Structure 1
Amino acid sequence: MTRPNLPPRFACVPFAHRALHDVTQGRPENSRAAIRAAIDAGYGIEIDVQLSADGAAMVFHDYHLGRLTAVQGAVRLHSADALRSIALTGGDEGIPDLPEVLALVAGRVPILVELKDQDGNMGTDLGPLEEATAQAISGYAGDLAVMSFNPNSVALLQKLCPEVPRGITTSAYREGDWPLGQHIRDHLRAIPDYDRVGACFISHEVDDLDRPRVAELKKEGAIISCWTVRSASQEARARQVADTITFEGYAAALSD
């Protein structure tokens, strides 16, 4: 089993959640404008990818278009070309695909790519998004890592791009927060798949960092990140456990 390490910069810089977005400044989530702003500020960038109808990895968080655009319907029912032409609310650009975003970042800051679960129940009905992502990141020369809430997605990425560092996005999986059965939430909460998928980090829910399993993984050498920090005071508490953070809504501290 391969377990590539995170590049050192991942433990040094805060990551802008869905890039450095601020819709009041014309920078929607996961937009090119938000990515440029994060690069200019020297932050790492966390982005999400969803699958288009024709198998492209699109940089977009939600499964449905309605919250972030004026169009309704599921992302995966639209072609990549159609999605590129759908304007993000609060900005003046369409939805980018992953290759375009990687070309824009071009190694200037580290980038963390989260694959959204395509199974719907954290199962194994996967493949097209992982394949599209692996193809897009093949040959990328900058610091990059991949992660997903679905450990089966991370396991597949281990096969498709074994040289790319990978992690599991983790959570307290509280009842009511997730449309998942209790047995699935209980399983995922325990983070039992860390070694199976060859992970080298987790990105854990910020208000659950005192979980004993998090401390256990850190003791074993895992890099601990967390989501989503929304204030300097919350950051200070999180950094008692976390090596780095994913943040939004304020200017996270940069190392000297």
Structure 2
Amino acid sequence: MRSLLSRFDAFLAPAPEPARVAWLKDWTYAHRGLHAPGGAVENSPAAFRAAIAAGLGIECDIQRSRDHAAMVYHDWDFARLHGDTGTGAAHDATEWRALRYAYGDEGPIALSDLLEMVAGQVPLLIEIKSRRGYDVHRSCKSVNAALAGYAGRHGVMSFDPRVSRWFYRHEPTRLRGLVMREDAYGHTQRAWQRHAALWVARPDFIAYHVKALPNRFAASLRARGVPLLTWTVDSPSARETAKAHADGSIAEGAGLG
């Protein structure tokens, strides 16, 4: 059965052209930028500046504002980082930018702002957030519009396989990734779900939960030439797992070494 599934994987989700994805393996990516308690806030301009200064790639998250701007932010609401009861989808980009983090004088920025800041200095992994019933295709369009003309190295990824599928169909020149986990919080706990997500997504790379490594499924993809990144590498032991079983790490804190 495993052999049959592997054959279907190879047929329906073929490995990418090696030269196209080789750069993914050359970097460590700062998870939500280079942030720390009492220091730069996750996904903030300060965290991104720190990552650039440290020579790290950047992983960031995308939510969508009421006026369909791609905003660099992880949560669906503002409670955790701003103590505000509002939701991102209820505010336009101007209102998002007016917010301030609990400390410092900065607030959320749009993807277009981040691209202007990075300007190709380091690569970007852009994770589009999604959930049940959400119009994630609208987010794909917003991200794609922001990236128009951007020449720096970047990849777009999501837990939702529809994101990678959208870029495969509408903008196949962009690198596209599928984020996967197998624990109680994931959507791919069972083997058939992992294979189904892969077949829908047709990704150029995989970003796999470090706590699920090593495993046969991830190893088989890597052996076929699909770059395997892993997240969130946040301890020395996780860093060792990443070195042994992945091609690159999305890391923070002690996982950065």
Q: TM-score, normalised by structure 2?
A: 0.87
From 146, 151, 158, give the equivalent of 2:156.
146
Mark the CA change 1:114 to 1:191 in structure 2 (over 3 Å): closer, same or farther.
farther
Contact 2:162 2:200 in 1 (8 A): no
Number of the residue aligned with 1:14: 28
Number of the residue aligned with 1:79: 92
Contact 1:4 1:164 in 2 (8 A): no
Distance 2:150 2:100 in 1: 27
Mark the CA change 1:223 to 1:66 in structure 2 (over 3 Å): closer, same or farther.
same
Distance 1:43 1:62 in 2: 23
Distance 1:229 1:201 in 2: 17
In structure 2, runs of 5+ residues without a counterpart are: 1-12
Task: Confirm or deny that 1:65 pairs with 2:78.
Answer: yes
- AA aligned to 2:22 is P
Structure with greater proportional helix content:
2
In structure 1, runs of 5+ residues without a counterpart are: none
Number of the residue aligned with 1:160: 170
Contact 1:202 1:222 in 2 (8 A): yes
* Offset, 1:191: 3.8
- Which stretch shifts more, 196-205 or 31-40? 196-205
From 185, 201, 204, give the equivalent of 2:205.
201
Contact 1:58 1:95 in 2 (8 A): yes
Mark the CA change 1:111 to 1:22 in structure 2 (over 3 Å): closer, same or farther.
same
Contact 2:239 2:255 in 1 (8 A): no
Contact 2:238 2:255 in 1 (8 A): no
Matched residues, number: 243
- AA aligned to 2:194 is A
Deviation sequence 1:170-205 (CA, Å, 0-9, x none) = 001x23x25x6xxx7537752433354331111000
From 107, 110, 113, give the equivalent of 1:94.
107
> Aligned with 1:227: secondary structure?
strand
From 24, 35, 38, give the equivalent of 2:38.
24
- AA aligned to 1:78 is H
Contact 1:124 1:153 in 2 (8 A): no
Contact 1:124 1:152 in 2 (8 A): no
- Which stretch shifts more, 151-160 or 80-89? 151-160
Contact 2:164 2:178 in 1 (8 A): yes
* Offset, 1:250: 2.7
Number of the residue aligned with 2:3: none
Distance 2:17 2:99 in 1: 37
Task: Confirm or deny that 1:130 pairs with 2:130.
Answer: no
Contact 2:26 2:248 in 1 (8 A): yes
Distance 1:53 1:7 in 2: 34
From 207, 232, 238, give the equivalent of 2:236.
232
Identical aligned pairs, as a percentage? 33
Contact 2:64 2:139 in 1 (8 A): yes
Q: TM-score, normalised by structure 1?
A: 0.88
Mark the CA change 1:90 to 1:22 in structure 2 (over 3 Å): closer, same or farther.
farther
> Aligned with 1:250: secondary structure?
helix
Contact 2:21 2:204 in 1 (8 A): no
Distance 1:136 1:23 in 2: 30
* Offset, 1:239: 1.4
Contact 1:229 1:248 in 2 (8 A): yes
